Amino acid sequence: MRFAVDAHAIGRHLTGNEVYVRSLLNALAPQLQSDELIAYVSADSVAASLPANIQTRRVATNPFLRLGFELGMRCRQDRPDLLHVQYTAPLGCPVPVVVSVHDVSFLEHPEYFTRDRAVQLQFTVRRTVHRAARILTGSEFSKSSILKVYGDLDEDKVVVVPNAAAGEFRPIAREIATAAVRDRFRIHAPFVLSVGDLQPRKNQIGLIRAFARLLRACPQLKQNLVMAGKETWFAEQVHRAARESGVADRIQFCGFVSDDDLLHLYNACDVFAFPTFYEGFGLPALEAMACGRSVVCSHTSALPEVVDGAAILFDPYALDEISRALADLLLDAELRARMERLGLQRAAHFSWQKTADRTRAVFHDVLEKSRAASPVYSQSIAR
């Protein structure tokens, strides 16, 4: 079997989408054996960072050129048995499509996006999910949401394949991590960490306000608040909230960080906070758990399903609840240690090897059904 993956996100700081496709490719590579895998990439340096048995082809970074022309052309040239994409399939794709739709926030909460981006996703994803042979998503919450917003889909068409923390996210010596973040980011105080692009959905403004309340209520606390995440169109509003919080000297922004830096940040922090309003899975919470950190996070969307009792939950719209959850962990070392143990156990339930196994099984199922439904198709791809 030869299958292809749209991997244009790798190397382009596209955060969750990039982590997903890179981790999936790395986990699929050892399973290939008689199969072939082609990755369509947009960054020059990507080929050298992928396993040697993955073939790469270059496609444009411009989405209109890539989706409107190049990917379809590449599929006609390379003749894969199927193409795997995230959210949007190319026009005129000559092979079956498997699409990963991580969430449908662009339909359920378009206010989290610029207007143009929301409209674009609403149009292109609808076209893709109806054209796709299978839809992969990371949680039962997201599957329910997809079936709700696209009411005419067959339920069996949507397959839950959970994500996982990458293997590099693991506990390391605290003193090594602390020294690394001190040298790299000039972080000298103990800190609470939050990770995510600076955008409305991630609720950094709510966390900043809750953190200010926490320090007023518990002035003995020495922790600062550190936020790691790419600057977006919404970033200035987050920075303004920090400036106006009254505790601006206790808040630090790191911008986009590499996985190596993120490993050290997770391991050096005292508590990981994830106050997001909406997640299709919530990978940063799982990454923090895999690093042995205690987690406080929202009780919304997929997060309760993913953390499954291994985190302190709060209402992200209630600042007092966020503040109280942080205080509970920061002031109670025994509770913090217990949540760290539970988090490590929960993170161990997930692995990219399991994700790759289930994804590959879907690929083969799609191919078998395509061959059975169309003898002409079966003959055309025979090698």
Q: Are 23 and 100 in contact (CB under 8 A)?
A: no
User: Which pLDDT band, with edges at 50, 70 and 90, does 372 fall under?
Assistant: confident
Taken in order of first residue, the domains within the chain and their CATH numbers are 2-164+351-381 (3.40.50.2000), 174-347 (3.40.50.2000)
Per-residue model confidence as pLDDT tens digits over 175-216:
999 999 999 999 999 999 999 999 999 999 999 999 999 999
Which two structure tokens, joined as six digits, stand for 173?
A: 């010596």
Amino acid at 213: R
Pairing of strands 191-195, 271-274: parallel
Cα angle: 307, vertex 158, 82; to 5 degrees: 115
User: Using CA atoms, how far apart are residues 377 and 155, in angstroms rounded to an integer?
Assistant: 25
- Whether residue 378 is predicted with pLDDT greater than 50 in this model: the reply is no
Per-residue model confidence as pLDDT tens digits over 330-344:
999 999 999 999 999
CA distances from 58 to 38, 46, 97 (A): 10, 10, 19
Pairing of strands 271-274, 251-255: unpaired
Per-residue model confidence as pLDDT tens digits over 74-86:
999 999 999 999 9
User: Using CA atoms, how far apart are residues 317 and 131, in angstroms rounded to an integer?
Assistant: 37
Which two structure tokens, joined as six digits, stand for 340?
A: 């760290």
Polymer length of the chain: 383
What number is the average pLDDT over the span 111-116? Answer: 93
User: Using CA atoms, how far apart are residues 171 and 195, in angstroms rounded to an integer?
Assistant: 17
